[in-house]
Structure 1
């Protein structure tokens, strides 16, 4: 059993259903699967923290119409809150205090103690950055506001309350260029740091090649090798988030393969709650997934002890359990280290590359001369915005502003119009697949199997080329005939 000082304080309830209300003789149920259940360090339920989780379940998240995200194996956004208030729960447990008994001095003591903690891997550096500590402090303040309201003391956390905070204002500029005034509560024990900026650049072709080379040289089992290659292909050719890739099902691959113009179903995340979208995808990628299903997944699932096959595409080799999105992050990290890539290289950078490349093609197709022309098309053309949102899974035109800038920066000084982008794109995909097949031949793949697979590859290429024959229409409909791929 883990030590009380280190054991995780919450677990996720996968199939939770809660009472909603009763009307017209019918009981309405609130689906709450994925909600964290929090305990004290000794394992006893922490009732106040769990009531707070229930309150977060109904708090508007992205999209405003649904509650906060509970997706993934760690409870989504609500799970992040559970993690951030865990130090406060440990502190009150150690001090034998109820949350309502906290005061300003005790809250300061908590923050100071967290600031003094050292990294277990390197005792010379702090366990947390000031940015992380600020996030923990603000989450704890939010939780303690809830505690105050529960006990009928709305001023428990306030300028003159037991825990003294001040309201501060700051300005943020949206991706669309609008300036918005926002407020937050600040405690004097916390250090205000600059807003964290995400500086990930699009993944380059050189790094993709290095990651793929690492898959074949890292010395793993055949199952893991097939899974990693497929994972990279899905990242590269769908532009999906890691959670969306982890949620792909075997049926999604099979259904797409049965279509004349394959469309892959993705469960769209980060838009207030799960929804679905269909994106065009190449048969080469689908065939790679089918190969993993038949040559690796099927063997693993014969020994699956979890009952009925859960249907998720990527599974753990030994247990057959679905691969968590966090494992996808670890996989990319392991490949990056083996490949000797010293700069940042993560799964989300594939998404940046995919969307940027898509916008480069759209700019060429529609002959946009300026960024404003592109933005106006996103705002004023309902069909255009619908198509772009389908491809990217983004929520609004403002959320793709960064990609517009990246695409125009790449096209700065570019005047050549690509007359048949589809043909170039398709041949590039299959050239890469043929190179990988040749590598397998050099490593011992039997010649007859190599010949069969090469002929099948050529057949699929011809089908994709035939499906994408240009009709002269430069609309986004042409792009749906196959998935997008343009050199970075």
Structure 2
């Protein structure tokens, strides 16, 4: 790319069909797919060669570029403040000294306005993570320039490596080396943000239904909230969801109904993120027919919307597409949608997509604990002989790369179970009733907007029928 035409932003991503040279085999050159590889520039628009070489080195070490750029994109964005600091101070990276490095780190904690409140730009944990990437990059620069005095305990920048231990779910402890500097703040204690409540989700859905916006935007917001709520998807997984995944699930559901299969449970398959390397993997999540009906309606709305714009959608087109182009949304668009809905609903606390994922994971723990007839941590320790197997069941549905980060959800799950008098059948029925309640709210919102509620009424009728079918499969009394 011509640097003179580079955008003001420091980072630009390669095209989806971009390939990169790998190795010569005989007389032919082998290439590797490098779609969405981040390309980095100085604020002047010139190539930032050291950072691009560093990212290239990580790429061939199998760091991820999946989705919107993966781990390499994260590193590129984390290096951006250092690039601007060096540019503003007319320094090349190898000219940094310890005083300048400390000043750059201090700038990361600058105050900014968010939601009319003055807050730190980054918390302590984020500053440490960014600082470690900076030191790793400077280590690369020193090695590339054969400058052994750039980084070290007695170097011009006094960074060094320390051992960090992490406890795994199976009791083992793994140790690795991480970069450190005496100016790094103490990391914030690790804690799980409280999952968003079901009532808050309903408030967000109501806001999505009642806001006076373009009909396509309204439908997309409602469907997006439903997808995040019933699958526990990350925002990147939401963006990568393809129409063919939903179409396939709807086809299997209709086929089961034609075959009069009352025990069929629809599954929605979609691409997962947070994998090591660039291998594409998928996960499948059980989903209620009520939610699938909503997605089916949204696909039809989406097709009509883009047809009017002269855009023909394909099976591989994104489900949640940009309203003008039909292309994938940017990851931050999902977060911005949440902020807009939370503001409209008058929700005081932060509301963002990952809190919905916390709620989903917690619900999965509750479901499995009820299936094993466990109501306390003592029961769990006594009766679950192979706890790793139990954790793997949750991991498969939630898409976690390891079971270690799931441990913290256990205590929250037992707290929820303490207030329940449910069987597994009742837990499943409550999930279907919640889906019915959301469908009823959508029907009422359509009526208030003065729209033809015929299609919404049909979905509501089918939702009632689905809950009735679930009751027939159990011995539970109707409420």
Q: Is the 8 A contact 1:304 1:320 kept in 2?
A: no
Q: Which residue of 2 aligns with 1:347?
A: 353
Q: 1:71 is matched with which residue?
A: 66
Aligned pairs for 1:283-294 within 5 A: 283-294=289-300
Q: How does 1:57-456 map to 2 (within 5 A)?
A: 57-59=59-61, 67-73=62-68, 75-111=69-105, 114=107, 119=112, 131-174=125-168, 178-188=172-182, 190-259=183-252, 260=256, 261=264, 262-272=266-276, 273=278, 274-303=280-309, 311-368=317-374, 370-372=379-381, 376-379=385-388, 381=389, 387-412=393-418, 416-446=422-452, 452-456=458-462
Q: Which moved more, 1:306-315 or 1:196-205?
A: 306-315
Against the structure 1 CA distance between its residues 68 and 450, is the aligned structure 2 distance closer, same or farther, given a 3 Å change threshold? closer
Does the aligned pair in 2 maintain the 1:267–1:276 contact within 8 Å?
yes
Q: CA deviation at 1:10?
A: 1.2
Deviation at 1:228, TM superposition (A): 1.0
Deviation at 1:179, TM superposition (A): 4.8
3-state SS in 2 of match to 1:37: strand
Change in CA separation of 1:130 and 1:7 when aligned onto 2, cut-off 3 Å:
farther
1:257, distance to aligned residue in structure 2 (A): 0.4
| Residues 308, 444 of structure 1: alpha-carbon distance in 2 compared, 3 angstrom cutoff | closer
CA contact (8 A) 1:279 1:391 kept: yes
CA gap of 1:443–1:347, structure 2 versus 1, over 3 A, is same
> Which deviates further from its counterpart, 175-184 or 286-295?
175-184
> Which residue does 2:20 correspond to in 1?
18
Shift of 1:77: 2.1
CA RMSD of superposed structures (Å) = 3.4
Q: Quote the offset at 1:164 in angstroms.
A: 2.1
Deviation at 1:58, TM superposition (A): 3.2
Q: Which residue matches 1:9?
A: 10
CA gap 1:116/1:248 in 2 versus in 1, 3 angstroms:
closer
SS of 2:246's partner is: helix
Q: Which residue of 2 aligns with 1:38?
A: 40
State the shift of 1:175 in Å: 5.1
2: CA distance, partners of 1:268 / 1:374 = 32
**Long gaps (5+) in structure 2:** 257-263
**1:311-354 CA distance string (max 9 Å, x none):** 10011223322222211111111111111111232211211111
Give me the whole-angstrom Cα distance separating, in 1, the residues matched to 2:419 and 2:296. Answer: 42
Structure 1 residue runs of 5 or longer lacking an equivalent are 60-66, 472-488
CA distance, structure 2, for counterparts of residue 127 and residue 385 of structure 1: 35
Closer, same or farther in 2 for the Cα pair 1:148/1:420, shift >3 Å? same
How far did 1:375 drift? 5.8
Are residues 450 and 470 of structure 1, via their aligned partners in 2, closer, same or farther at CA, if it must alter by over 3 Å? closer
Match of 1:480 in 2: none
Distance 1:115 1:335, change over 3 A: closer
Q: Name 2:259's counterpart in structure 1.
A: none
Residue of structure 2 equivalent to 1:477: none
Paired residues of 1:72 and 1:324 also in contact (CA < 8 A): no
2-structure distance, mates of 1:302, 1:58? 44
CA distance in 2 between partners of 1:428 and 1:91 (Å): 51
Greater shift, 116-125 or 90-99, is seen at 116-125
Deviations 1:336-392 (A, max 9, x none): 11111112322112111112112212111122352325764442x4xx665433311
CA drift of 1:229 comes to 0.9
Per-residue CA deviation, residues 127-168 of structure 1 (Å, 9 max, x unaligned), is: 555554444332221111001111223453112223222444
CA shift for structure 1 position 196: 5.0
Q: Deviations over 1:190-247 (max 9, x none)?
A: 2322235343112211101211121123221211111111111111111111111111
Aligned CA distance change for structure 1 residues 430 and 144 (closer, same or farther; 3 Å): same
1:76-123: CA deviations, max 9, x gaps?
3212211222233233334444333333344345445x2696647899
| Secondary structure, aligned partner of 1:164 | coil
Q: Structure 1 residues 182, 441: closer, same or farther in 2, change over 3 A? A: same
User: SS of the residue aligned with 1:394?
Assistant: coil
Cα distance per residue 1:445-487 (max 9 Å; x no partner): 4465565444444455566667xx369xxxxxxxxxxxxxxxx
CA contact (8 A) 2:313 2:326 kept: no
Q: Secondary structure at the match of 1:163?
A: coil
Task: Give, in whole Å, the separation in 1 of the partners of 2:139 and 2:394.
Answer: 40
